[in-house]
Structure 1
Amino acid sequence: MTNSCLDYRLTRRSLLAAGGASILGLQVSDLLALEGSSHASKAEHVILFWNGGGMSHIDTWDPKPGRPTAGEFSPIKTSVPGIEISEIFPKLSKQMQDVALIRSIAGTQGAHERASYQLQTSYLPAGNLKHPGLGSVVASQRKSLGDLPAYISISGMGRGASYLGQQCEAYYVPAPGEKDPYLAFPDGIANVRGNKRLEILARYNQKFAAANRDDRLAATKTSIEDAVHLMRSPALEAFELGKVPYETIERYGDNAFGRGALLAKRLVEKGVRFVQINRGGFDTHSNNFEALTRHGGIMDPALASLIQDLREMGKLDTTLIVMMSEFGRTPRINEDVGRDHWPNVFSCMMAGGGLRGGTVIGSSDEDGAYPDKDPVEVADLHATICHQLGIDGNKEVMTQLRRPMKLVDNGTPIAGLIS
């Protein structure tokens, strides 16, 4: 029995390949093929927690007490009568009045890369065509409300923008709380001297672009201009977690996940539309319960603190929090005390964003093996998120090959979640 899966390990080359089409620098105005109907938005921001590897649904959002598949964790009561979740989320259980659980996602893909692709784009992989990730879709339709980028990815790279263009790519934060060395002049270079260098660079680039007709130059120009604008913005203070009281950091958790959740809150305060926090380690073919105990100890305080703080700030209704993974884990516990890949049914957690809190959508069967009631397709998750943001998922954009593609692959908003 292997303890990891090779197709889940991302390389720099594969990441570049996933986002390679974005360097064509196409403008959104050129990409729009058909203007779909729009509607009033209920949410303004999304915070997506991506749990890479395939998080066990039975040991988190969909416990099966008394069944052979239940495992080592007990369910606990929540602030909503009748809704129980795993004991690894004691603090989050007190926030359940603002949380919605989807327990009947009907997946189709059991390989990490294909399933991750579908969960993050709504599409299945299709040859050389790379579909944009959800964050890039949101960035293409809902611009940032401030100086910071519309789409920021923390502790890992989000899915690339592909045919939506360079302007819809994620700004990458490798370690929340650490200063980005690329957003300041090097030591010893004063602002006056640094600005002079940027002026010289702009003149050289303009001269080169005039003599060379290459669409990729537009993407480069966009990247440089965005970086210079960002490095001069006072909104960069949002990244400076060193200025946050340590009591707050401790409440979220003094670790990459806790700091990422805290940073996400600060970023949406500054107008960022889509923040993705990435965490791996859920490919639990062995020692599943030991691993999830550690994960719960890290995720629980961060999620509970985030929901509580956004509520107290009056921003929870306009900030949609989503936690999802590419598939679930097998009902059967293997000989290594692990669970294997299981796409047939799995769960997703959502909170805020104008959705109905204290809600459970669908159910799996008594062993958590297959959907029992109200199955939900992967694209329905994307359609629901877009609906809350006032984005028409059926809008078509034109790829660089002049092929129209919908923002969402034929999904339908989940009626039971929409208030």
Structure 2
Amino acid sequence: MKHQCPGNPLERYSSRREFLYVGMLGGLGLTLPGFLQQQAKAAQKFYETTEGPANGIIHIFLPGGLSHQESFDPKPYAPAEYRGPFGAIDTKLPGIQFGQKLPHLAKIADKLTIIRSMSHGEAAHERGTHNMFTGYRPSPAVDYPSIGSVISHELGSKNNLPPYVCVPNVPNEFANSGYLSSAYGPFALGSNPEQGNFQVRDLNLPKDVSEERFARRRSLLETVDHHFRSLEESDGLDSMDAFYQHAYKLISSEKAREAFNLKAEPDKTKEAYGKTAAGQRMLLARRLIEAGTRFVSLTAGGWDHHDNIKAGIEKQLPSVDKAIAALINDLEQRGMLDSTLVLVTTEFGRTPKINPTGGRDHWPRVFSTMLAGGGTKRGYVHGSSDALGGEVDTDGVTVADLATTLYKQIGITADKELMAPGLRPIEIIDGGKVLESILA
């Protein structure tokens, strides 16, 4: 039987009280864009536990389309024009090889699940990205929510942390809340954690607002709130209050702010991840998951290598390889890997044959995805592509299958129906199956 999301009492509510609150918060500089925008239109949930083995997910997205042949699915015995410019290296799994530029991940392949048989039918960047962020093919009729927004909607906040964070910024329009309220959209940092002066916008008071003034303003809001309570009656007031209480907690909680503080990490740890964009973004993702964020989405590099794929891979893949391996090792050492699902995806694969300019073009028929932790198998390769890396050969996996499996691991039923305004109830994921074979 399908599950249906109950109606939201706040979707009918709008008043001068809402306007006053927003105005006062703006005066304090507490806008929290992407996290509090239109919070009065939805009801936040504050659940502290989930039923799946994963408490959090780190989604590492490689925009542009990482070549599977140069990464997780090399073809060392194919003709040179298919094999590409790099060789293959042995991993810790007998008989399994990775691309030459993944030596760090090759050493910990016994902790990974590799899917070599992903596919979808979208060869355009925007459409491929939409698939990977929502679990749906694009539709002109429905603005689908991202996986992070669904998790925010279903599981809510924990430990005063935003449930869904994008590092460093919202990477694309498909990472947003879709037909759900923007209350469930991502909290974006606004700056790059690899920068020496990294500071998250909206987590600190403006320079001209002291802690005392902040406390007075909060007291003033409480006074105004009491006044309007005496004048108005609405089922939505208590739920609406929760949003602003949560905003204050995020601003005033030292523990919540500390989750974003990379300066607290020892230099040795920063070096292990790499003092690169990829390294510091993944280190921050670990801090956020450790503190209680449900879903962290980060991007690393650009992989649209139509020309000179050799130079592109040499420039970018080593730092990403090092950072992902360090993240997984760090999670393991902290006892967090079994409860944290690390996911590495991209838009699509690249053409089997090297083109005349030394690159590979868009190829959605087959590509690779990597997972680790969160109740997935260790040291497992699922599916295969054919000898030239052009088609799925065995055990094909759809985007809906992958999304359904992610939701299961974090405790969400993927065929639950959510209400989209003006539309019929829509399943979180339509038609996907749980990939039981990749689960521990």
- Quick one: which of 201, 209, 212 aligns to 1:189? 209
The separation in 2 between residues aligned to 1:401 and 1:218, in whole angstroms, is: 26
**Between 401-410 and 317-326, the greater mean CA deviation after superposition:** 401-410
Superposed CA deviations along residues 98-153 of structure 1, whole A, max 9, x for unmatched, are: 10111111210011111111111011222242111011112222233311111111
**Residues 198 and 94 of structure 1, relative CA distance in 2, 3 Å threshold:** same
| Residue correspondence of structure 1 range 112-127 to structure 2 within 5 A | 112-127=125-140
> Residue 312 in 1 paired to residue 325 in 2?
no
Q: For residues 58 and 198 of structure 1, do their structure 2 counterparts lie closer, same or farther at Cα, with a shift above 3 Å needed? A: same
1:75 aligns with 2:88: yes
Change (3 A) 1:91 1:329: same
Distance in 2 of aligned mates of 1:54 and 1:130: 23
Q: Is 1:160 aligned to 2:176, yes or no?
A: yes
Q: Deviations over 1:338-370 (max 9, x none)?
A: 111111111100011111111111101100001
TM-score (norm 2): 0.82
Spell out structure 1 runs of 4+ moving beyond 4 A.
Answer: 21-24, 198-212, 217-225
Helix, strand or coil for the counterpart of 1:131?
coil
C-alpha distance in 2, partners of 1:335/1:63? Answer: 20
Q: Which amino acid aligns with 1:134?
A: I
Do the aligned residues in 2 keep the contact of 1:386 with 1:393 (CA within 8 Å)? yes
CA positional deviation for 1:251? 1.1
Shift, 1:225, TM fit: 4.4
User: Which AA in structure 2 matches 1:51?
Assistant: L
1:59 maps onto 2:76 in alignment: no
Q: Distance in 2 between matches of 1:202 and 1:128?
A: 42
SS of equivalent residue, structure 1 residue 182 = coil
Pick closer, same or farther for the CA change 1:255–1:395 going to 2, 3 Å. same
For 1:301 and 1:96, locate their aligned partners in 2 and report how far apart those are by CA, in whole Å.
Answer: 13
Please point out which of 342, 345, 357 is paired with 1:336: 357
Q: Label 1:23 to 1:193 Cα distance change in 2 as closer, same or farther (>3 A).
A: closer
Cα distance in 2 for partners of 1:387, 1:358 equals 21
User: Does the CA-based 8 Å contact 2:39-2:243 persist in structure 1?
Assistant: no
Q: Distance in 2 between matches of 1:329 and 1:24?
A: 44
Tell me, in whole angstroms, the C-alpha distance in 2 between the residues paired with 1:40 and 1:227: 27
How many angstroms apart in 1 are the aligned matches of 2:430 and 2:283?
32
- In the TM superposition, residue 279 of structure 1 has moved relative to its aligned partner by 2.4
Q: 1:321·1:351 contact (CA, 8 Å) conserved in 2?
A: yes
1:76 maps to amino acid: I
Amino acid at match of 1:359: Y
Matched residue pairs, number?
393
Which residue of 24, 30, 53 maps to 1:42?
53
Q: TM-score, normalised by structure 1?
A: 0.86
Structure 2 match to 1:399: 420
Deviation at 1:163, TM superposition (A): 2.8
- Structure whose CA Rg is larger: 2
Cα distance in 1 for residues equivalent to 2:94 and 2:407: 30
C-alpha deviation, 1:176, in angstroms: 2.0
1:132 to 145, 152, 172: 145
Establish whether residue 173 from structure 1 lines up as the match of residue 173 from structure 2.
Answer: no
**Other structure's SS at 2:76 match:** coil
Supply the distance in 2 between the matched residues of 1:99 and 1:348 (Cα, whole angstroms): 11
Work out whether residues 125 and 347 of structure 2, in 8 Å CA contact, stay in contact via their aligned partners in 1. Answer: yes
Match of 1:93 in 2: 106
Distance 1:54 1:22, change over 3 A: farther
Show the counterpart of 2:6.
Answer: none
Tell me, what secondary structure is at the counterpart of 1:258? helix
Match of 2:284 among 252, 260, 263: 263
Task: Go from structure 1 to structure 2 and tell me whether the alpha carbon gap of 1:331 and 1:211 turns closer, same or farther (over 3 Å shift).
Answer: farther
1:28 to 1:251, Cα distance in 2 relative to 1, 3 A:
closer
Q: Percent identity?
A: 35
Q: Which residue of 1 aligns with 2:161?
A: 148
Distance 1:388 1:166 in 2: 25
Q: Distance in 2 between matches of 1:309 and 1:356?
A: 18
Task: State whether residues 56 and 289 of structure 2, in contact with CA within 8 Å, keep that contact through their aligned partners in structure 1.
Answer: yes
In structure 2, relative to structure 1, the CA distance for the partners of 1:193 and 1:412 (3 Å cut) is: same
Kindly provide the amino acid, as one letter, of the partner of residue 230 in structure 1: L
Deviation string, structure 1 residues 216-263 (Cα, Å, up to 9, x no partner):
x99997765433220111221121111211121111011221111111
How far residue 403 of structure 1 moved from its aligned partner, in angstroms, is: 1.8
Runs of 5+ consecutive residues of structure 2 not aligned to the other structure: 1-33
Q: C-alpha separation between the residues in 1 aligned to 2:361 and 2:239?
A: 42
Matched residue SS, 2:370 = strand
Deviation of 1:321 after TM superposition, in Å, equals: 0.4
Which residue of the partner structure matches residue 36 of structure 1? none
Give the conservation status (yes or no) of the 8 Å contact 1:42–1:318: yes
Q: Cα distance, 1:72 vs. partner?
A: 1.0
The change in CA–CA distance for 1:111 and 1:48 in structure 2 (over 3 A counts) is same
Corresponding residue of 1:7: none
Match in the other structure for 1:227: 247
One-letter code aligned to 1:140: H
Amino acid at match of 1:324: T
Assess if the C-alpha contact under 8 Å between 1:380 and 1:412 holds in 2. yes
8 Å CA contact 1:25, 1:218 repeated in 2? no
SS at match of 2:179: helix
State the Cα RMSD in Å: 3.0
Q: Which of 412, 416, 419 is the aligned partner of 2:437? A: 416
